[in-house]
Structure 1
């Protein structure tokens, strides 16, 4: 059987004291993938009802995608230009519309930090998610800042910056059942709820056939199966599950075991995308991302938008 690898082989997590958040979130995408429950959770986030979880937690894992042994040269300033970022406004916590009508989110604020680091003048414009790639290809913008997994097909069309985010798969269970050392042996014969037809279902079927799958139509039904006792765990998207953990005040649900980042199932990760004819832009953004990690800006933004870390 193929050995299961967690994220430790890819990057090193950093644990820091969690800080109280001060950013509100709303308009969570009401999609079949995430469901109506998570839309409600984001409205609770807006009201500050999830903040006590963040304040009470002892530590949070912040992903580090940068190798400290690799140092990039500072790019030349180049001629003055306005760099146009494109995003979507309906996918918290990565990109969404704030209560005051402004675009914000982890990807959006990271883009703004890149611009500040490089002394660029930048704009950020929201477009429908399904139009973003074509808009970039048609030069209606210069950089795509949206939660879109980089795929081989995307790499044939566009240049991609260094990864700055990945959405791991996680196991969630009731708090009393949670264990940090959850492994394959611990899952033998366990009842695991998972969304039917999802990458998470395919992962369990292929790599954990010894678990008893309880396939559900959506994530809400999977969590309901956990609460009813029909399932002992839920396996799904870490970002969505982190919001669910936060919504219960940290008292009902908890992550169990570590994150799974098998790219074959869960994607390579999220990068800024550019047209291939602008190599200087790509190099500059890579330099900025590395320096934003080094100076702590990346960590501050991560804490701001993830009250419970999906990692």
Structure 2
């Protein structure tokens, strides 16, 4: 099965680069502190009753090569944001929990053949072979962000970029968005996102517009050398940056999807989601 890998090939590249190198955003009180921004994808005013049907067990399916979501630590133990999130969901529901590792290409067949109950591995809901699945609400979205040099941070205004040079990765959604929404800016396309980041670091462009997750790992890295910081944003415009990460279940298993949705909201309300987010993304990309 080759189509499975195409589901999130772009996302996979972003996640690997990140570790190695229309939505209203609600921020809780703790997120108002400088430098601490935790997203909330659930309506804070909504009231949801605990489902009457809770699964006794949830067998999650994932692949283990996509840090910081699912990967193996130096001792070979499974860890990552999705691993801890799956464990917390089961604890919230009182269900026993297991995580089975599969190659990305066979995650969907494994789900369809009842080898697991839910895929927590960044499947895209927008493609034909996933439209027959049930998806939970998004538990994480991957926004676009601007970065600028620290010296330029105070003067930067993302609403007024006329004449400014924006570095983007060629052929990316970031390039398409910048060309459409900042037509008076000079959009300079680079072969890779790494080259675009180096351009803003070196001062040959005014700003770089790219994947917030990847940038959150680049900014504190030795490669960035404390050159730059996030500015403005986050950008989550529909059709460009609104596809998020969700948990997929079989179409004939709506009760499990409903239970997971309930548990996701509960984890946020109890502060557990915030704790996990800041554990794996200490420099928030929101």
Tell me the TM-score range normalised by the shorter chain.
0.7 to 0.9
- Kindly indicate whether residue 177 of structure 2 is the aligned counterpart of residue 203 of structure 1: yes
Q: Which residue of 1 aligns with 2:117?
A: 142
Q: Which residue of 1 aligns with 2:211?
A: 237
Mapped partners of 2:102, 2:277: distance in 1: 24
Q: Offset at 1:35?
A: 9.7
Q: Which segment is superposed worse, 197-206 or 248-257? A: 248-257
Q: Which runs of 5+ in 2 are unaligned?
A: 1-8, 22-32
Aligned length: 265
Q: Which residue of 2 aligns with 1:111?
A: 86
Mapped partners of 1:151, 1:194: distance in 2: 25
C-alpha spacing 1:34/1:152, structure 2 compared with 1 (3 Å): closer
- Kindly indicate whether residue 46 of structure 2 is the aligned counterpart of residue 70 of structure 1: yes
Q: Which residue of 2 aligns with 1:126?
A: 101
Q: Which residue of 2 aligns with 1:168?
A: 143
Asked if the contact 1:180/1:256 (under 8 Å) is kept, the reply is: no
Q: Offset at 1:84?
A: 1.0
Within the candidate set 258, 270, 274, 1:299 is matched to 274
Q: Offset at 1:163?
A: 1.3
Asked if the contact 1:149/1:267 (under 8 Å) is kept, the reply is: no
Q: Which residue of 2 aligns with 1:214?
A: 188
C-alpha spacing 1:181/1:258, structure 2 compared with 1 (3 Å): farther
C-alpha spacing 1:210/1:124, structure 2 compared with 1 (3 Å): same
Residue 37 of structure 2 aligns to a residue whose secondary structure is: strand
Task: Normalising by structure 2, report the TM-score.
Answer: 0.84
Q: Which residue of 1 aligns with 2:24?
A: none
Residue 90 of structure 2 aligns to a residue whose secondary structure is: helix
Q: Which segment is superposed worse, 198-207 or 272-281? A: 198-207
- Kindly indicate whether residue 188 of structure 2 is the aligned counterpart of residue 191 of structure 1: no
Within the candidate set 47, 63, 74, 1:99 is matched to 74
Q: Which residue of 2 aligns with 1:44?
A: none
Q: Which residue of 2 aligns with 1:224?
A: 198
